Amino acid sequence: MNIKGKVVIVTGGSRGIGRGISLSLAKEGAKVAVNYHRHPENAKDTAKKIESLGGEAMIASADVTSSSQVKHMVASVIDKWGRIDVLVNNAGHIAGGGLLDITEEEWDKMMAVHLKGPFLCCKEVVPHMIKQRKDEKGWAGKIINISSVGGVAGQSVMHYCTAKGGLITLTQSLARHLAKFNIMVNVIAPGPTVSDLGSSEPNTEEKHEQKRKWARESGKFPLGRIGEPEDIANAVLFLISNDYITGETISISGGWGTLYNELLM
């Protein structure tokens, strides 16, 4: 795969799945803009790791639900590298609650992060991708949205699953709308994965290992393990390398998504 020199924005790229994606892209020679919102120390650590691998990185602070901050983030990437080839909409959060427990504010926040955020990022990035189109055969850009198996088959975390399901249909609409520009848009739906999702602070490696142990012993995972950020990153790399896939949802769950089980952390 040849993505050397390609410029990629990874929202929520400083930890968890986003960090795994950022590092994997850097290993393949991409220039990575590591977006973060609340944890600058993690973004700095991820950027430092990328540079230790011989890659190029920049830290891009932005709340993806703020149009002004997204505009500034995209402009800063253009100022530094002059182009944007790939956008990975990964930023997200999760919180529990059923219909009678979820407040209006919690509902709005979930929709803002998982739907408004990708919309705003696409709205700012796509014009640059269109300008970069050189010929009818070459691709102008790739957009990869990170949803969840919960967006494919709703589970008990209702507002999260609803937002993730909306992200899948947003992906399909964008793919149809942007195909004429040779911009491909796809969505990855991870199953339970070792990450910091749902934690206000980064988890320790000990906590991650507890999740791995639980997955191995629970009998709920067909392949006998929980997903790793690198599993999702490999799917991102595949979609970037392929020039004839758009509008598709790829579940990366080790078969877990077919069981309709809940992962209790």
Residue range 227-242, pLDDT digits in tens: 899 999 999 999 999 9
Domain count, the chain: 1
Rounded Cα distance between 48 and 126, Å, is: 28
- Model pTM above 0.85: yes
- What does DSSP assign to residue 119? H
221 part of a folded domain: yes
Give one word for 222, left, alpha or beta, with left for phi > 0 and alpha for psi -120 to 50: alpha
Beta-carbon contacts of 102 under 8 Å, excluding residues fewer than 6 positions away, are 158, 159
Q: Which of helix, strand or coil describes residue 3?
A: coil
3-state secondary structure string across 21-90: HHHHHHHCCCEEEEEECCCHHHHHHHHHHHHHCCCEEEEEECCCCCHHHHHHHHHHHHHHHCCCCEEEEC
Give me the pLDDT at residue 89, please: 98
160 is catalytic: yes
Higher pLDDT, 206 or 252: 252
261 part of a folded domain: no
Token pair in block for residue 78: 């253009």
In this prediction, residue 193 has a pLDDT band, given cuts at 50, 70 and 90, of: confident
Higher pLDDT, 116 or 216: 116
pLDDT digits (tens, 9 = 90+) for 155-168: 768 899 999 999 99
Rounded Cα distance between 131 and 76, Å, is: 17
Q: Domain of 36?
A: 7-256
Least confident of 16-25, 153-162, 223-232: 153-162
263 part of a folded domain: no
264 part of a folded domain: no
CATH number at residue 45: 3.40.50.720
Whether 202 shows a pLDDT value over 80: the answer reads no
**What are the strands of the beta sheet with 183-190, ordered from one edge?**
56-61, 31-36, 7-10, 86-89, 141-146, 183-190, 249-252
181 part of a folded domain: yes
265 part of a folded domain: no
1 part of a folded domain: no
210 part of a folded domain: yes
> At which residue do the structure tokens 């010929």 appear?
135
Catalytic residue selected from 36, 160, 244, 260: 160
Read off the pLDDT of each residue in 13-33 and give the average, rounded to a whole number. Answer: 96
Token pair in block for residue 262: 């809940």
